[in-house]
């Protein structure tokens, strides 16, 4: 049974109705948005419900069964409220939605709650989106309780894990970002090991992706030193011959280059690389000497590859914050986080192979 005030009930029983629908959406980042199908904005209980975006909801149907009651709403994309970039970035995922009916001429009469649930699938087109609202029965479709698993089922840093993320969080700046929304390098960050940030989460603190997050697919420690440099010549893009495992896009710095000391201390980006040599993006045309050798090339930093493309291209100079990754294994919990006492898995329970072996 719907709960509503006597005044609103009396108004709904009449023939000349002045009612409208309010949609209140609370995202997981605590931002609150209000929308209405009224012809003008409605301010109700401290929230402004905007009419400028316009929306077309489907019919609301409630059944007595335990089926999930879904409905859809179609609205236009708006630069100030609902942007395609925010939808693609997942900022609207699992947002709590409250659908209410009010008398816009007498808001003091209160409201009638028509539906409450969460945003499900969202589809976008060039100028509009369609969002699915899943009802409260959706929670009954989920598995509750814990499973016996070899891996940990806690989230890194939550109350069951107890790890303080502060000691495993690093800030930095994308210093080399090829024209890609998924990969970048920070030459100033030397990770403890390759894979240290795998499965971690990066949050952008600057640039066009400000506030967006993504899981990290892989992180590669680029620290590497190669000696025996030869074939540095006075040219716009010199070719360096050196025993190396460098790759295109790496940033390298030089030291101890005899015969062409102007290059010592400089950094350059590798344009192309093959076994035994690479071409660097360094203009040496103004140097006074013509060739150098017997130097050292050092590659430093960490290269990140994200699980999915960011909404916008990552540019050099974009700031970020990154949390170390956890693969949920007992070994990682012990050696990386020193947190075995709070490990939430069951690594020693016999598996299916033990059951079917008959031993």
N- to C-terminal Cα distance for the chain?
A: 58
Question: Can you list the residues of the chain whose pLDDT is less than 70?
Answer: 1-2, 52-81, 120-132, 134-144, 176-179, 244, 358-359
118's enclosing H/E stretch is strand 111-124
Q: Are 343 and 152 contacting, i.e. CB atoms less than 8 angstroms apart?
A: yes
Q: What strand order describes the sheet that includes 251-255?
A: 224-229, 295-299, 251-255, 267-274, 277-281, 239-241
Short-list 139, 141, 135, 137, CA closest to 119: 135
The per-residue pLDDT for 334 is: 94
Please write the tens of the pLDDT for every residue from 62-110: 444 444 455 555 554 454 667 777 777 777 777 888 888 999 999 999 9
The per-residue pLDDT for 271 is: 87
Q: Are 314 and 184 contacting, i.e. CB atoms less than 8 angstroms apart?
A: yes
The per-residue pLDDT for 125 is: 61
Q: What's the whole-model pTM score?
A: 0.61
Q: Are 268 and 199 contacting, i.e. CB atoms less than 8 angstroms apart?
A: no
The per-residue pLDDT for 332 is: 94
The per-residue pLDDT for 295 is: 86
Rounded CA-CA distance 133/66 in Å is 16
**DSSP code at position 10:** H
The Cα angle at residue 310 between residues 307 and 313, in degrees rounded to 5: 130
Q: Helix, strand or coil for residue 158?
A: coil
Which string of b and e fits 266-278 if b means at least 16 CB within 10 Å?
Answer: ebbbbeebeeebb
The per-residue pLDDT for 78 is: 54
Q: Are 258 and 293 contacting, i.e. CB atoms less than 8 angstroms apart?
A: yes
Rounded CA-CA distance 158/281 in Å is 45
Short-list 205, 188, 182, 160, CA closest to 323: 205
Domains of the chain: 6-141 (2.30.110), 165-222+303-342 (2.40.30), 224-299 (2.40.30.180)
The per-residue pLDDT for 205 is: 94
Burial class (CB within 10 angstroms; exposed 0-12, middle 13-18, buried 19+) of 26: middle
């Amino acid at each position: 049974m719907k709960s509503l005030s006597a005044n609103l009930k009396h108004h709904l029983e009449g023939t000349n109705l002045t009612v409208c629908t309010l949609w209140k959406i609370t995202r997981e980042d605590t931002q609150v948005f209000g929308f209405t199908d009224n012809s003008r904005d409605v301010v109700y209980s401290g929230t402004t419900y905007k009419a400028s975006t316009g929306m077309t909801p489907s019919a609301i149907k409630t059944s007595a069964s335990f089926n999930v009651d879904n409905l859809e709403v179609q609205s236009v994309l708006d630069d100030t409220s609902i942007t395609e970039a925010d939808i693609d970035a997942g900022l609207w995922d699992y947002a709590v939605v409250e659908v209410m009916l009010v008398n816009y001429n007498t808001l003091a009469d209160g409201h009638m709650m028509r539906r409450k649930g969460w945003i499900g699938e969202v589809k976008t087109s060039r100028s509009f989106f369609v969002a699915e609202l899943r009802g409260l029965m959706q929670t009954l479709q989920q598995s509750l309780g814990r499973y016996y698993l070899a891996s940990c089922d806690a989230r890194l840093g939550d109350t069951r894990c107890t790890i303080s993320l502060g000691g495993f969080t690093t800030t930095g700046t994308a210093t080399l970002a090829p024209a890609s929304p998924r990969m970048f390098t920070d030459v100033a960050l030397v990770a403890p090991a390759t894979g240290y940030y795998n499965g971690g989460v990066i949050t952008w603190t600057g640039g066009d992706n400000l506030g967006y997050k993504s899981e990290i697919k892989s992180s590669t420690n680029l620290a590497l030193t190669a000696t025996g440099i030869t074939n540095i010549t006075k040219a716009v893009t010199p070719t360096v011959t050196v025993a190396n495992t460098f790759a295109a896009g790496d940033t390298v710095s030089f030291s101890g280059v005899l015969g062409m000391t102007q290059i010592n201390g400089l950094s350059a980006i590798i344009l192309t690389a093959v076994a035994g040599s690479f071409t660097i993006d360094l203009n040496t045309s103004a140097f006074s000497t013509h060739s150098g050798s017997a130097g050292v090339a050092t590659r430093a930093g960490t290269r990140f590859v994200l699980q999915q493309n960011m909404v916008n291209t990552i540019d050099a100079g974009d700031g970020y914050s990154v949390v170390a990754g956890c693969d949920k294994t007992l070994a990682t919990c012990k050696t990386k986080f020193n947190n075995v006492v709070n490990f939430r898995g069951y690594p020693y329970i016999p598996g299916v192979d033990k059951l079917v072996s008959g031993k």
